[in-house]
Amino acid sequence: MSVMMNTLATSKRLWCIAILLLTAQVAGAQSIYKCTRAGQVEYTDHPCPAGKGELIHQASDSEIIDQYLDLGQDALAKRYADSRHLGALYQQRLDAYQQRMDARAQQQADEALAAKQRSEDARQQALLDAAANHRRLRAENDALRQQNDQYRDQLAQPVYGEAPAYWGAAPPYWDHDHDHDHGPPPKPVFHPCTQLAGGRVQC
């Protein structure tokens, strides 16, 4: 039973340390202390009361300077470095910070330029589509106008009735024996038909 209790306590301690280390990485430069209060062990990012306890994780100078720079507190970062004669480290971390800021600004500029280009491409494509649609409609209108003109020309043509079957020949009732007396029969007079309103034809 005691072995199980010790195992659970060790697991809990390791879990607490992992949580605090993760918090330290996210929040910035922080130190982690192991303190004992009323017989209970706890882990905190503040020094233990009365200076008692154990320092588990000491924030490095680079972490502290980086935290100041990330918070925009350049003066505090430089003051911290100067108080510990870390001028070279401060300049190194400042250069790294500036590179991160430049890279972030460049990324934002690239994203803004890409968004602007996409918007311009979409506008140009819309203009091309509108022009193509206009040409298509104009071609269709021209074709319909041509068809209407042809139909109008067809309606304007006069309509003639068929000529009689005996045109230019003697009618069947003509007596050939009297050809020498009366001569050939006269040709019939052909009157062209006229198209009236409503589609009627008058001959």
Inside any domain, residue 149 = no
Inside any domain, residue 66 = yes
Ramachandran assignment for 198, one of left (phi > 0), alpha (psi -120 to 50 degrees), beta (any other): left
In the block, which residue shows the tokens 């890409």?
Answer: 114
Report pLDDT digits (tens) over 81-116.
Answer: 898 898 999 999 999 999 999 999 999 999 999 999
Domains in the chain: how many in total? 2
Q: Hey, what are 136's tokens? A: 């298509």
Composition of the chain by helix, strand, coil, percent to 5: 65, 10, 25
User: Angle at CA 112, nearest 5°, toward 106 and 118?
Assistant: 135
Q: Are 90 and 78 in contact (CB under 8 A)?
A: yes
Report pLDDT digits (tens) over 32-59.
Answer: 778 887 778 888 777 888 767 787 777 7
Inside any domain, residue 124 = no
Domain residues for the domain of 90 are: 60-109
Round to whole Å and give the CA distance between 173 and 159: 30
Inside any domain, residue 20 = yes
Neighbours of 66 (CB within 10 A): 20
Report pLDDT digits (tens) over 128-156.
Answer: 999 999 999 999 999 999 989 888 888 88
